[in-house]
Structure 1
Amino acid sequence: MFRLCHHQKLRTPARRLVSTRKMSTTTIINPKEPYKYQELPNKVKVVTNPLPGHFSALGVYVNAGSRFEDGGKLQGVSHLVDKLAYNSTAHLSGVEMLQSLERLGGNYMCSSSRESIMYQASVFNDDVEKMVRLLSETVVHPQLTEQEIDEQKNFASYEIDEIWKKPELILPELFHMVAYSGENLGSPLLCSMDRLPYITKPLIDEYRNRFFNPENITVSMIGVPETTAVELANKYFGDWQSSSSSADAASPMKFPPAKYTGGEYTLPHPANPDGSMPEFSYIHLGFEGLSVSDPDIYALALLQTLLGGGGSFSAGGPGKGMYAKLYTEVLNKYGFIENCVAFNSSYYDSGLFGISAACIPNAAPYLVEIMCQQLALTFQGTSGGGRIRGGRSSSSSRGITETELARSKNQLKSSLLMNLESKMVELEDLGRQIQVHGYKIPLFEMIEKIEQVTLADIRRVAQRVLTGNASESGSGKPTVVIQGNRDQFGDIESVLKNYGLGKFDQVPEENSKKGWW
């Protein structure tokens, strides 16, 4: 991913010396957790947790990403900006940047998402300032030569081609695009092949001028004392001035809200060179979910844990979720289903919730019925004669029990606590929460919220989401993405209606026929 390029003499500008500028003194401290937050005079946000240890985790988070590309000439640029991280800068050649990173252990990354571009690294405590300097170089002062851009476009072309061959990677992407009609949260994370030739250095510079401004930056540090963190952020990011007016600066609050539309899209199987039949047919079936700030987000997270799921084979063991509904009621009973998993994606102002599954092609006519049955049981429960809405026989299926809810609470809490044992996970959680909320939700509060969820809450939230009432602005229509023979899946809309899932009269027909790439 890294390239050799011309050498530049390493130089440290005079403005890098310790500044006498007055720093912000606004600090938000939660008495139960050690997080400290300050904002520099140029509006760069600095948040830290002085968690002791031999290593420190450092991150820079930018309010940018595919949802802000507006589907216009900037579409796909986030993908390239991600890949161009840690290259040549105004003060370092590409070789010098690479060598500096390797001397610090080489534990660094950059990734782009729909709502953020994240630069992260982990180093020994003694090397914190060196790494902060390198982060500031790649975020604030990238040089980006034509050679580097061309090389990354070649890598991106290969990456895009490979992802299209993997249903588990491309179908979630298509699902977002169908759910939001290719706009806002539906803007693709991947740059399309057709767009690659148009992504040039001037276009990347335009993207950076629009999004890479101090008011859109959050600097997060784990294992660094507050005073040190603020001094380093002020030293390496404090002189940075916005390149766009405040009216043009990118911010989630200044962009149109996401509008969920729903719809259907079918992707044919790629042709096999030997002429053999495809091994599996795939489907993603879902609805508009909840935003990260919705009060019901904890109940929805528990609903996903309750449904769980996975592949048809698992080694099992504690914490694997083998007692989740999609294991016990689907994977253990239907040998023709290869995998079946509940998914839940939450964003600033919307979200997606549903089930993805794969089966042998001949079993496709039964797959949607099985998925809908499990979704409907989460809020309808069982009824007389072992039947649920729609008249389908379900003698062994049942709704959610208190025991299953208690098990899912323990599983979700343990997953949350174990993940946060990693400094890198804690780093991203801290930085992204400041980005989205402007504050850090305490861990103890999350645990309390999970504990407070009742079975009635689960059923209420399941009904809210699965019947298409997650938001007032969304259509409520289901989103369906298939890879395989569409005819084999039968009349999906009728099955959904029979189970009382989603709405079907509020989306223009053309939304379901819109194509991408």
Structure 2
Amino acid sequence: MVTEREQGLTTRDGFGSALGTKAITARGELGIPYTTLRLMDKLQKHTTWHVTFTSVSGKCRSATHDNYLGDEKVIFKSQASSMIKTPSSRAVSRLLPLCAKAPTPAASSIARRSLATVVEPIQKDPTELDEITTLPNGVRVATEALPGHFSGIGVYIDAGSRYENEHLRGVSHIMDRLAFKSTTKRTSDEMLEALESLGGNIQCASSRESLMYQSATFNSAVPTTVALLAETIRDPLITEEEVQQQLETASYEIGEIWSKPELILPELVHMAAYKDNTLGNPLLCPKERLDKIDKSVIEAYRKAFFKPERIVVAFAGVEHKEAVRLTEQYFGDMKSEDSPELSRTGSETSLDSASEASSTSSSESASAPPSPVQQSSNLLSRLPFLKNLSTSGPTQASVLSDLSLPPTQEQILAPSQYTGGFVALPVLPPPINPSLPPLTHIHLAFEALPISSDDIYALATLQTLLGGGGSFSAGGPGKGMYSRLYTNVLNQHGWVESCVAFNHSYTDSGLFGITSSCTPSKVVQMLDVMCRELQALTLENGFSSLQMIEVNRAKNQLRSSLLMNLESRMVELEDLGRQVQVHGSKVGVREMCNKIDQLTVQDLRRVARDVLQGLVKNPGQGSGAPTVVLQEGEEGNGVKRKQLAWAEIQDRISRWKLGRR
């Protein structure tokens, strides 16, 4: 075996450094069987090295290499002090008999090798090439440079109905409708024309915890898109005429949604579960608030939430340096306008003196706002057509007594408080179309885990395992036809129209449960079936307990759904922006899939018990009670039945050992 031993490297100047050297393998037509020599990469005009090396034959030789302005001569000096001085190529040829025998097979293989083998490190998954930079003013820039024909650009603002107080109630709903209207630089028509010229997809949407401006556009149009997003976010004109137009549109939209139980009941579940606080604030603008919203209220909302430290600008398919440059150009000079903050002195609360100058006269003597657990605004009781409202929570949240004040920092940072409760809507009249059956709609929910919980993957797997759908389905592989709500409910009871599991996750709380529709005469049986399916998730033994085969199926379905959804540029963009907004970092899809794969039956059973038995411990310290929203349907034959009371519903749920006892 050929061994390599470097004996030394010195120069006439006495420097023994190996810096700046590279390895050169002796090879070529001369067939020199020497191992690697370490020589300086760049030769000076007059430099001499004395190198000792070992040949394949094991004989030690030393050499001195002189370079005189390119006139190279090599002097090989043997240990016997025999001296040969000749041009380098000839000297090498003459020394072959002296230095080595004929090349061995091993040496020949080395001589034939022309290139070195380079072992490259394992590359990152393309979906994990994310970077995050925070600008000096607090704006966060997040990128995921996954290449494609289209790029995604999104601006995510920490705003939404969760942060609204009574003065700003419903403004988030109007804000997303005022996007991409007139600005200080162009009219509404000019803005529309500029958007259409991009040839992509651009939109604005509000949720409970975020206001999202998003676009998918051609790569070449990224700078223009960022400029338009910045313009509509930072420099909107917001005329009274535009506000009035959007209020009229919102009024029609509210009426339409209230006429559709499948749309309004999820909204009422939130309002009952978090009565009069944070996540219970209506996502839709209440009708009684429409005539109280004007340009000044919109500006107050913008001043409270449109701050650089509350903004994330996300890019999908854009290089990070370019993304940072564009964000600095259009958002880098954005400054935070401090809103009045509360400073406590003993048991009193007053506005900071620095903020009093910009506050209204009514706010100068403002007292401390009530605690989120002191009194109720009874928002649900003022909703149209609301018949009955009960709460399981011992306390309810409140709003500011002075309605002219914007939300305080204390309110914005207040944790959501789960109360649980019951909402009963008026009886639905029979459908106008006689071919459609009358239906009763039920939502049953419990407080679940926040998005930051380590068990969120187990909860998502439980939702997939329950699955569900409508009475009609095209079927086929991968559509959840073997999920529990299909096999145990829809395929077993002909009076069930639909039965679906849901899971809503937020920053500090969540909701998990089942929604269903059934024949009006079967409402009691439907409630029992829903409770039975939820309780089965917690059982340790028995035929209905969780089985490995269905858990593995649910895990595969969840991974498949996750990966297929992320193929969409808009989904990829929102996932990046919202993760950075909530966590401050990005969890890669590979890591998410690994966490799903590591789940066991015991993990799912433990999480199911925590959620369904009211044992979840979130910052708001919820009541652990169930939440039920019910809208019964009127039977076509005119038969009127006695509606279920909240006490009876609670008793039935308790029999199934659900909720905190």
1:381 Cα deviation (Å)? 4.9
1:448 Cα deviation (Å)? 1.1
> Would the aligned equivalents of 1:409 and 1:450 in 2 still touch at CA under 8 Å?
yes
* Aligned equivalent of 2:320, options 219, 223, 226: 226
> Would the aligned equivalents of 1:165 and 1:270 in 2 still touch at CA under 8 Å?
no
What residue is the counterpart of 2:415 in the other structure?
Answer: 257
The 5 A counterparts of 1:477-492 are 477-484=625-632, 487-489=642-644, 491-492=648-649
* Aligned equivalent of 1:88, options 165, 173, 182: 182
> Would the aligned equivalents of 1:77 and 1:199 in 2 still touch at CA under 8 Å?
yes
* Aligned equivalent of 1:402, options 530, 540, 548: 548
Deviations along 1:309-355, one digit per CA (max 9) or x if unpaired, are 01011001122111110000000000100000000001000000000
What residue is the counterpart of 1:65 in the other structure?
Answer: 160
What residue is the counterpart of 2:89 in the other structure?
Answer: none
1:183 Cα deviation (Å)? 1.3
Deviations along 1:368-400, one digit per CA (max 9) or x if unpaired, are 1101001001012555xxxxxxxxxxxxx6122
What residue is the counterpart of 1:413 in the other structure?
Answer: 559
More displaced stretch, 203-212 vs 485-494: 485-494
Q: 1:454 to 1:408 in 2, by over 3 A?
A: same
CA RMSD, 1 decimal: 2.1
Cα separation, 1, equivalents of 2:222 and 2:437: 51
Task: Tell me if 1:268 matches 2:438.
Answer: no
* Aligned residue identity for 1:258: S
The 5 A counterparts of 1:345-494 are 345-381=504-540, 383=542, 398-471=544-617, 473-484=621-632, 487-489=642-644, 491-494=648-651
Cα separation, 1, equivalents of 2:540 and 2:256: 42
Q: Per the alignment, in what secondary structure is the counterpart of residue 288 of structure 2?
A: coil
TM-score by length of 1: 0.86
Cα separation, 2, equivalents of 1:35 and 1:185: 30
Q: Per the alignment, in what secondary structure is the counterpart of residue 513 of structure 2?
A: strand
Q: Per the alignment, in what secondary structure is the counterpart of residue 237 of structure 2?
A: coil
* Aligned equivalent of 1:157, options 251, 257, 260: 251
What residue is the counterpart of 2:51 in the other structure?
Answer: none
> Would the aligned equivalents of 1:63 and 1:250 in 2 still touch at CA under 8 Å?
no
Cα separation, 2, equivalents of 1:310 and 1:273: 21
Task: Tell me if 1:177 matches 2:271.
Answer: yes
* Aligned residue identity for 1:157: S
Cα separation, 2, equivalents of 1:343 and 1:352: 8
* Aligned residue identity for 2:529: I
> Would the aligned equivalents of 1:171 and 1:284 in 2 still touch at CA under 8 Å?
yes
Cα separation, 2, equivalents of 1:105 and 1:319: 34
> Would the aligned equivalents of 2:149 and 2:218 in 1 still touch at CA under 8 Å?
yes
> Would the aligned equivalents of 2:141 and 2:313 in 1 still touch at CA under 8 Å?
yes
Q: Structure 2: state its 5+ residue gaps.
A: 1-122, 343-406, 634-640
Cα separation, 2, equivalents of 1:288 and 1:59: 30
1:364 Cα deviation (Å)? 1.1
Cα separation, 2, equivalents of 1:271 and 1:449: 47
What residue is the counterpart of 1:288 in the other structure?
Answer: 447
> Would the aligned equivalents of 1:110 and 1:117 in 2 still touch at CA under 8 Å?
yes
TM-score by length of 2: 0.67
Q: Per the alignment, in what secondary structure is the counterpart of residue 423 of structure 2?
A: strand
Q: 1:375 to 1:41 in 2, by over 3 A?
A: same
What residue is the counterpart of 1:513 in the other structure?
Answer: none
> Would the aligned equivalents of 2:247 and 2:290 in 1 still touch at CA under 8 Å?
yes
The 5 A counterparts of 1:119-138 are 119-138=213-232
Task: Tell me if 1:46 matches 2:141.
Answer: yes
Task: Tell me if 1:502 matches 2:596.
Answer: no
Deviations along 1:104-141, one digit per CA (max 9) or x if unpaired, are 12511110000000000111111111110000011111
Task: Tell me if 1:216 matches 2:306.
Answer: no
1:434 Cα deviation (Å)? 0.4
What residue is the counterpart of 1:393 in the other structure?
Answer: none
1:66 Cα deviation (Å)? 0.2
What residue is the counterpart of 1:509 in the other structure?
Answer: none
Cα separation, 2, equivalents of 1:322 and 1:489: 32
1:274 Cα deviation (Å)? 6.3
> Would the aligned equivalents of 1:50 and 1:224 in 2 still touch at CA under 8 Å?
yes
Q: Per the alignment, in what secondary structure is the counterpart of residue 283 of structure 1?
A: strand
Task: Name the one with the larger strand percent.
Answer: 2
> Would the aligned equivalents of 1:60 and 1:119 in 2 still touch at CA under 8 Å?
yes
Cα separation, 1, equivalents of 2:159 and 2:408: 7
Cα separation, 2, equivalents of 1:219 and 1:368: 45
Task: Name the one with the larger helix percent.
Answer: 1
* Aligned equivalent of 1:145, options 214, 239, 259: 239
Cα separation, 1, equivalents of 2:530 and 2:478: 23
How many correspondences in the alignment?
Answer: 461
More displaced stretch, 141-150 vs 247-256: 247-256
1:484 Cα deviation (Å)? 1.2
Q: Per the alignment, in what secondary structure is the counterpart of residue 195 of structure 1?
A: helix
Cα separation, 1, equivalents of 2:134 and 2:411: 18
> Would the aligned equivalents of 1:434 and 1:440 in 2 still touch at CA under 8 Å?
yes
Task: Tell me if 1:204 matches 2:298.
Answer: yes
> Would the aligned equivalents of 1:179 and 1:260 in 2 still touch at CA under 8 Å?
yes
Q: 1:438 to 1:252 in 2, by over 3 A?
A: farther
Task: Tell me if 1:326 matches 2:482.
Answer: no
Cα separation, 1, equivalents of 2:643 and 2:337: 54
1:200 Cα deviation (Å)? 0.5
Q: 1:241 to 1:116 in 2, by over 3 A?
A: same
> Would the aligned equivalents of 1:365 and 1:488 in 2 still touch at CA under 8 Å?
no
> Would the aligned equivalents of 1:61 and 1:431 in 2 still touch at CA under 8 Å?
yes
1:182 Cα deviation (Å)? 2.6
> Would the aligned equivalents of 1:50 and 1:226 in 2 still touch at CA under 8 Å?
yes
Task: Tell me if 1:99 matches 2:193.
Answer: yes
1:436 Cα deviation (Å)? 0.2
* Aligned equivalent of 1:188, options 270, 273, 282: 282
Cα separation, 2, equivalents of 1:410 and 1:204: 46
> Would the aligned equivalents of 2:431 and 2:438 in 1 still touch at CA under 8 Å?
no
Cα separation, 2, equivalents of 1:149 and 1:253: 27
